[in-house]
Amino acid sequence: MHVLVVGKGGREHALVWKLSQSPHVKRLSAAPGNAGTARLADNVDIPDSDTARLADYAEREKVDLTVVGPEAPLSAGIVDAFTERSLRIFGPSAAAAELESSKAFAKRFMTDNHIPTAAYRIFENPDEALGFVKTASFPVVIKADGLAAGKGVAVCSTLGEAEETIISIMVEKIHGSAGARLIVEQHLAGDELSVMAFSDGKTVVPMIPAQDHKRAYEGDSGPNTGGMGAVAPVLFPRPGVMDRIRKEILEPTIEGLSAMGRPYVGVLYAGLMLTDHGPKVLEYNCRFGDPEAQVVLPLLRSDLVEIVLASLAGELELAEVEFSRDFCICVIAVSGGYPGPHETGFQVRGFGRVNWKEVEIFHAGTKHVKSKTFTAGGRVVGVTAWAPELATARERAYRNIRHLSFEGVRYRADIAEKYLLSIREKSRKAHA
């Protein structure tokens, strides 16, 4: 088969890497890809937003299967456009992807389908939102309705912060039309985790749970980023919680969408908070998480092509979806200044010193000129390692990321640290 991956980040490199291991795949392309995908696939110089050119390419080059990484093309209807031209593509339709592209839609959907989520109000007018927060108890969480590249959410501890956030979203329109509506919701306390699942529209098969590290600096401080690192599996959900997540969240989501005539085929991502009252949905995404994909795909033992084909055929229940029992960690090296303004175009050095038996490196914001690699984005590369013990995987990732250098390089030194300490604490207690 000729398989095309749409996108250019770390998630897409991990997808290309995983797909390249399938005996079904004879040819791989990535559009537009990055310096990492270029080593395993043909990079095609078409932006992920140019649906018509992507479909032309798929037709001309006899692409048998297209796998879409990012949310923007899904929300813009790439799956609908390909399907109309009888091109096989994996991902939800624009109607099903509204679960991610409109947080207000997702909230109403959850209410209608009795799916646990934070209490909320939706506002289309800044004065009403401002009036509402005057009487709220803090903290509250304020969210722009539409896609805002991970920058549309603020946890507000004071009335002043809430007022500023409402004004910046609805009056100053810092996220453009994504802020035409906003949601004010109850702040939930607990452990956060990401559960991704394959779906064929009827059957939903969860992957192992993962945890992202959103904040820029150690100790979960600083501004939110696209993700500074991740770990999987996270085992802290108490026994029975994964079952509840499937029964109370994933299955009713797939059933609810199907009942609305918007069957969900693709990867469904539930961002969850494990509260004292059970798991609750913070948000849905309509695709693999980035960086969660980089820690979940390496542990997927089954053939991804077969899972995707089974999903597209409506036969996911027949597919084998198995994970190894290892732990996987990914530490992301970012450009100086990220998530704020940052320069790019610096050479990334040190790949020759990496011990490739210990790690896999997934490129995110990179491009290559001849055989050299240069920075091309905020998140540059993710150093990924897996092993039977989390401590070993962590050591491998950190031992090797030190070899990589580029002007301004930075990474968090504490990815999976808290989790590792909690595992050690538990085993200490078990042996005491």
Ligand X SMILES: Nc1ncnc2c1ncn2[C@@H]1O[C@H](COP(=O)(O)OP(=O)(O)O)[C@@H](O)[C@H]1O
- For residue 385, the tally of other CB atoms under 10 A from its CB is 27
Q: Name the one range near Mg ion by CB under 5 A: 100-108, 240-248, 267-275, 381-389.
A: 267-275
Give yes or no for residue 271 binding Mg ion (CB under 5 A): yes
Nearest approach, Cβ of residue 284 and ligand X (Å): 9
Start-to-end Cα distance in the chain: 55
Q: 273 or 359, CB closer to ligand X?
A: 273
Q: Which residue, 218 or 306, is less far from ligand X as judged by CB?
A: 218
Residue 118 partner contact from ligand X, Mg ion, none using kind-dependent CB cut-offs of 5 to 8 Å:
ligand X
Which helix (H) or strand (E) covers residue 318, if one does?
Answer: none
Cα separation, 297 vs 412, whole angstroms: 22
**DSSP per residue over 278-289, as a string?**
EEEEEEEESS--
Shortest CB 356 distance to ligand X, Å: 33
Q: Give the contacts of 17 (CB within 8 A, at least 6 positions apart).
A: 40, 297, 360, 362
- DSSP, res 346: P
Residue 152 binds which entry of Mg ion, ligand X, none, CB below 5-8 Å type-dependent:
ligand X
Minimum CB–partner distance for residue 141 and ligand X (Å): 4
How far apart CA 373 and CA 351 sit, in angstroms, is 9
The reply to whether 215 sits near Mg ion by the rule CB under 5 A is no
Which range in 50-58, 173-181, 269-277, 359-367 contacts Mg ion by CB under 5 A?
269-277
Instruction: Determine if 278 is a binding residue for Mg ion (CB under 5 A).
Output: no
* Binding flag, residue 148, Mg ion (CB under 5 A): no
* Token pair for 164: 């500023």
**Distance of closest approach, residue 382 Cβ to Mg ion, in angstroms:** 18
User: Nearest approach, Cβ of 283 to ligand X (angstroms)?
Assistant: 3
Partners of residue 385 on adjacent β-strands: 329
Cβ proximity to ligand X: between 152 and 378 the closer is 152
Min separation Cβ 142 and ligand X, Å: 9
What 3-state class would DSSP assign to 126?
A: helix
Place of tokens 């070993």: 392
Say what angle helices 10-19 and 304-312 make with each other, to 10 degrees: 100
CB-nearer residue toward ligand X: 222 or 271: 271
Residues that bind Mg ion (CB under 5 A): 271
